[in-house]
A = this chain, B = another copy of it.
């Protein structure tokens, strides 16, 4: 099991036909995968330089056997993972391209905010294809959606990221939970 101390890692599943499903973007302070997963069913690639921190499985197991608190910690981590995955299911199954992108940008901004103070300028170090594969879209559609959001004055496209000028937390909720209908019109 590994933890990420610096950089950005992209966890994905290869679909054997060349397409990929990006499962998660891992930020510093988060775990790469689940502990004790015998056979990792996801691959990982670094976005830029990273430094990781390994926990030997045996040692982790000893720690867990010794202190029940450790076990509960890992279970709570697992619960959050499940919840995240299910929220992503909701997004992938029910949201339009614009809703997916909006929810991603707001969520990404919120996650970066947990690492330290951030401005409205949101860096996007990963490739367009990574974001597209995360959202279940094609890079072309992602690009078009960015352009559309910029025309609506909701974002501004920067060299290596975007600036949020109209999207707010509520928009994330609106994107994945609420709005009047689903997709289309």
Contacts and interface: CB of A to CB of B under 8 A. Distances in A.
Q: For chain A, give the interface size range.
A: 35 or more
Contact of A21 (B13, B19, B90): B90
Stoichiometry, copies per complex: 2
A135 to B, nearest CB: 8
A94 B19 contact: yes
Interface stretch (A45-53, A147-155, A176-184): A176-184
Interface string A68-112: 100110111011011101101110111000000000000000000
Interface in A120-157: 135-136
B23 A86 contact: yes
Q: Which 10 A-B pairs have the closest CB atoms?
A: A93-B136, A78-B78, A85-B85, A71-B71, A65-B68, A92-B92, A21-B90, A92-B93, A34-B79, A81-B82
